[in-house]
Every structure is written in structure tokens, then in C-alpha cells.
Structure 1
Amino acid sequence: MTDDEVIYFDEMASTTSEESRGQNVKIIFLGDDLEGVDELIKNGLARLLIKEKIDEENYRIQHKGEEIMLTISYTDGKEKTKSLTTMFFKSANIVFIVYQIGHPETAEHLNAWSKEVDRYAENSIPRKLLGLKSNKTPLEVTHAKQFAEENLVKNEVLDINDPTLCSQLFIKEIDNALIESIQSKPLPPKKNEKKSCCCLIM
């Protein structure tokens, strides 16, 4: 590796670190019955390093040496203050459509929720199904599995009583958001780039 390449590598690493600082990560949960989401959030945040709680949805956290503003929004679409709008989905990094394991009726409107996401959210925002369970024996929800296969979306199942699993869900999505943010930004131009020219003497 030449001296120029070493300088460029150091600058790229430094810039990548700076670009990931102060990032905003927004996670959205939607569904007919979001009773388990409160427990998911409580257990998930318990393993994160929270520097400050701004309000009910926004947290300033420390993650891998970086300061991140984490926003967690969720609604069943019935609350007037949380009606679905374009602004609700703005800057979201991931949307989870939630159903409850053991309550198959909560998975009957997955298609309707998916259409609402399509209506208001940008196409680039990833969507996943999330089945929440509060017991040790996972029960298959046939409708959710079929919906995931037909719509080519990932279907995850999570035990909301396990703080480790809950925190891993948030950490994974935070990491994905930061990686996506870094990859979407162009690399800085090389410094001290040597240019060569040739001339023809007649």
C-alpha cells in the first residue's frame, strides 16, 4: 500500500465515522392489536445505552461509540393523534406490521395494513411482518405465513418476554440503518492524487 493509499484510507475511515455520528433512526410498528409492543419496547430499550429520553417516542442513545437519535412510533390507526399520514412515515428506516401469536385474528388485516404503508410510505422503506408471542411455544399463524410468501416480505417471530431478543431486534435495525446511510453517501475525493500526462515532441 502506497503512502497516498494510506492517507486516503485514513480519510475514508474518518469520514465514515463522522457521517454515522448524530444519525436519526426511526422504527415504526403497525397492527390491529399492539398490546405486546409496549413490552417489546420496554425490554428492548433495557439493553440499550440510553443517554436521554426526549419524549415518549424519541431517545438519544449511545451505540458503538456513536450518538444516535432513536425514534420508535407505533399505532393501531385508531388514535386521532397517530392517524396514518405521509409525515408519520417520513424518514422511517423500517416498518413492522405486527400481529399477535395466539390471536390469529390480528393477522387477518395484514393486506390492509400493507396497502396503507404503500399509500403513505416511500417505496424504499423496508417492511417486515413481526409476530409477537409471550409464551415458550411458538404457534404458527397460517395467514401470516401465506401473506409473507405471497408478498415476498420477511416474517419474524419474537418472544417479547426475552429482553435479549427484544434488544437484538432494535440493534439489528439500528445497524442496518447506519450501514444504509453510509453506503448512500459518496466517498470523498482522493487527495494528493497524482496525475500523469504525456507529450509528443516532434
Structure 2
Amino acid sequence: MIESFKKIDFSATPCDFNFKLILIGHTGVGKTNILTKFCDNQFSENFQITIGVEYKTQIVEINDKKVELRIWDTAGQERYQSMTKLYYRSSNGVFIVYDITNPESFNKLDYWIKELKSQEQANAMFMIIGNKCDLEDKRKISKEKGEKFAKENDVLFMETSAKDGTNIEEAFEVLTKEILSVSQKKNNLTNSIILSGPNQNQNPNSNRKTKSGCC
């Protein structure tokens, strides 16, 4: 079955799911442009440092399910990291972004993964993004190297360009579908347990041990 994925306008109809996504990574890798390209179809050549966090909401539809994505863009500068750590918690999905023209940003990937796991985000769905793939003539990190790192860490991977839009919607689509799949499985398991309940023919006290004597 082919799944559909499309961005839709806000409406009064409640969403079926709400997912919290965060963008983290070294400063200057293009996290803000990825966010604004996905939500607003905008791109800015002017680099502006994110101070603390920025936030946008986008509703998408996947096979008749409405999903509200609450997306947080975090600052990459070290001086803001103690504050942005607060926003890691309870995240359903994380984009860890590096710049394919900046080896330092790629070398920081280990740090970000360890940082997330130390904040008890090991159960969140991770995707590594190699951004700025439109700058092929300035590339310093091969796609194969990015794919290898992602495979070694058992996370998703994609290269994107916030400037020309390459794989921006696809990255959000893949991560959202993975999170939705896990969420639906959990809901089905929970419902199954609730519906099955205890054996109605069983005496609820039958498994209890009865004490004899006075003490």
C-alpha cells in the first residue's frame, strides 16, 4: 500500500497524533533554513544565529491520519546548549544536521548522539541530515561517509538542500512515517491488552495465597 504524505492547512478538526520534532547540530549547518523551507517554503542566504530555540507547527496528512508536527529549531552554539537541552525531552523525532562542506560539523555527530541519549532520548527516532548538498563543488564529506556513520549508529540518513528544496519534505515524510508506525503499534498493543483484560471466568482471588494462623 502506497502511503500519501501532504502538508495541509490548519483546521478546527483535531489531529489524530501530535509529534514533537527537534533540529540539532553544529552552528551554521542550516537548521533554521530546513525548518522554514519545510513550513514556509522560504530560504534566506543571510546567516542568522538562532538564540535559544525557534518553533513552528505544521500539520500533515498520512493516509487520512492528521498529524501535528511541533518542530523546534535549537541553537548550535555551545553557550546556548545548556538551555536547549531542556527541549530535547519528550521528543518523538530528532534531526541531527551537519554541513557536507564543513568537516567539523560532521565530527560533532558523535557528541550529539551521546548528548541525546544522556537526556533519555534513546527511544526517539533519529535521522542524520547532511545539508547543503547543492554545494557539490565545495563538498568535504562524501555521501557514503554519512551513510556509513548512520548505519553504524542504526539511524536514518538523508542529504538535503534547504536552498533548492532537495529532500526537505522527504526527510520530514520519512521520519514522521517511522514515528507514526511505532506509535500505531504501541496503541494497538495497548488496546489489545485493554480489550483482552482479565479472564472473565477466573475468580480474581483464585491466585492469591491464603494465610493460615493468626500471624
CA-based RMSD of the aligned residues comes to: 3.3
Tell which deviates more after alignment, 23-32 or 157-166: 157-166
CA gap 1:153/1:62 in 2 versus in 1, 3 angstroms: closer
Give the TM-score normalised by the residue count of structure 2: 0.61
Runs of 4+ in 1 over 6 A off after TM superposition: none
Conservation of the 8 A alpha-carbon contact between 1:57 and 1:72: yes
Of 22, 30, 33, 1:28 maps to 22
Tell me if 1:98 matches 2:90: no
Counterparts of 1:80 and 1:107, CA distance in 2: 19
Counterparts of 2:38 and 2:134, CA distance in 1: 17
Counterparts of 1:41 and 1:132, CA distance in 2: 12
Q: 1:43-73: CA deviations, max 9, x gaps?
A: 21247xxxxxxxx514252424444331111
TM-superposed CA distance for 1:135, in Å, is 1.7
For the residue of structure 2 that corresponds to 1:122, the secondary structure is: coil
Structure 2 gap ranges (5+): 1-13, 42-53, 197-215
State how 1:88-167 maps to structure 2 within 5 Å: 88-135=87-134, 137=136, 139=139, 141=141, 144=146, 147-163=149-165, 165-167=167-169
TM-superposed CA distance for 1:150, in Å, is 4.0
Structure 1 gap ranges (5+): 1-19, 48-55, 191-202
Counterparts of 2:60 and 2:98, CA distance in 1: 30
Conservation of the 8 A alpha-carbon contact between 1:46 and 1:167: no
**Identical columns (%):** 22
Q: What is the total number of aligned residue pairs between the two structures? A: 164
CA gap 1:155/1:164 in 2 versus in 1, 3 angstroms: closer
CA gap 1:117/1:77 in 2 versus in 1, 3 angstroms: farther
TM-superposed CA distance for 1:120, in Å, is 0.4
